[in-house]
Amino acid sequence: MQTKVPKSDPQQEVASKELHRRVRLRLLRMHYESGVGHLGGNLSALDLLLTLHHRVMEKDDLFVLSKGHAAGALYVTLWSLGRLSEEELLQFHRDRTRLAGHPQADAIPEILFATGSLGHGLGLSVGLGLGKRLRGQPGRIFCLMSDGEWNEGSSWESLIFLAHHRLAAVVPIIDLNGLQGFGATTEVADLGSLADKLRSFGLQVREIDGHDPEAIRRALQVDTPTRPTAVVARTIKGHGVSFMENRMEWHYLPLSAEQYALAVEEAKRL
């Protein structure tokens, strides 16, 4: 039986839009000032991270960032919650920082594991889910994955374990932006419909627009206690910056001063 999702609040929607705009601008500034790339995948994941942390997660819930190259989006999300300071964001990617280019273990309480080598996050999440079940503990485990990491066999092994043990507390969220480090996912290793494959393992799958906060909230707030659920979020790599959108090179490139100025102007209008 599903829990009824509260209706959207127009005032909250306006506040959410302003939040997403403010945090997107801070993400761009942080990467520009640090001279760091990986912005494309950070921008595809940012709306998912903000909605999840601000409007869905409760005190007993846990989060695993399997796509560790989106660490910047996670850091600015934690900053928006008051869990990281402005001074700490200025140390992003610097020597001896807590805010490394990929999340590191034992640096920030909300970051449970070091991630970056793709394909490990779901296995860690199902371990947490099994542990909660054995201990009778409440809460869910949300795992944000990239679509490219489904090329990894470890992701499928974890899915088999998740489905077999019916770990409904574990919720994989796939950032389906269609691009990975060496090109389009359909060119590197075409998996066809990932949603259909997840359904074939017995999961309930919700396919959504990964840049629509209300759609994200509705998909994640519904609780299905006896059946595992996955959310497949259709996103755009480099979302909100026209010269980055759907361009593979923005998996890597840092921003020049001219590009940063243009990106800021476009992000303000979203």
The DSSP annotation for 5-73 comes to PPPP-HHHHHHHHHHHHHHHHHHHHHHHHHT---HHHHHHHHHHHHHIIIII--TT-EEEESSGGGHHH
The pLDDT, as a whole number, for residue 181 is 84
Tens-digit pLDDT profile for residues 127-139:
999 999 999 999 9
223 vs 141, which has greater pLDDT?
141
Q: How confident is residue 1, by pLDDT bands cut at 50, 70 and 90?
A: very low
The pLDDT, as a whole number, for residue 170 is 97
Burial tier of 73 (Cβ tally within 10 Å: 0-12, 13-18, 19+): buried
Q: Indicate whether 5 pLDDT > 60.
A: no
Task: List the single range of 22-26, 186-190, 208-212, 216-220 with lowest mean pLDDT.
Answer: 186-190
Domains of the chain in start order, with CATH, are: 10-268 (3.40.50.970)
Tens-digit pLDDT profile for residues 133-191:
999 999 999 999 999 999 999 999 999 999 999 999 999 999 999 988 888 999 999 99
**What span, in angstroms and rounded, lies between the C-alpha atoms of 210 and 145?**
13
Averaged pLDDT of the chain: 93
Q: Indicate whether 6 pLDDT > 60.
A: no
Mean pLDDT of 211-222: 94
Instruction: Please answer whether residues 22 and 54 qualify as being in contact, where contact means their C-beta atoms are separated by less than 8 angstroms.
Output: no
Give the closest residue to 39 by CA, choosing from 261, 245, 258.
245
Angle at 63 between CA 62 and CA 65, to 5 degrees: 160
Tens-digit pLDDT profile for residues 59-101:
999 999 999 999 999 999 999 999 999 999 999 999 999 999 9
Tokens of 238: 């480099």
Residue type, 41: G
If you ran DSSP here, which 8-state letter would residue 2 be given? P
The pLDDT, as a whole number, for residue 227 is 87
Q: Which helix (H) or strand (E) holds 146?
A: strand 141-146
Beta strand 170-176 with 229-234 is: parallel
Tokens of 231: 């959310």
pTM of the complete model: 0.94
Mean pLDDT of 41-49: 97
The pLDDT, as a whole number, for residue 265 is 96
Instruction: Please answer whether residues 65 and 121 qualify as being in contact, where contact means their C-beta atoms are separated by less than 8 angstroms.
Output: yes
Instruction: Please answer whether residues 232 and 192 qualify as being in contact, where contact means their C-beta atoms are separated by less than 8 angstroms.
Output: no
Beta strand 179-180 with 183-184 is: antiparallel
**Chain mean position to CA 229:** 16
The DSSP annotation for 158-182 comes to HHHHHHHTT-TTEEEEEEE-SEETT
Mean pLDDT of 7-26: 83
The pLDDT, as a whole number, for residue 39 is 95
Instruction: Please answer whether residues 39 and 238 qualify as being in contact, where contact means their C-beta atoms are separated by less than 8 angstroms.
Output: yes
| Contacts (Cβ under 8 Å, ≥6 apart) of 239 | 43, 44, 46, 47, 211, 245
The pLDDT, as a whole number, for residue 11 is 62
Q: Indicate whether 263 pLDDT > 80.
A: yes
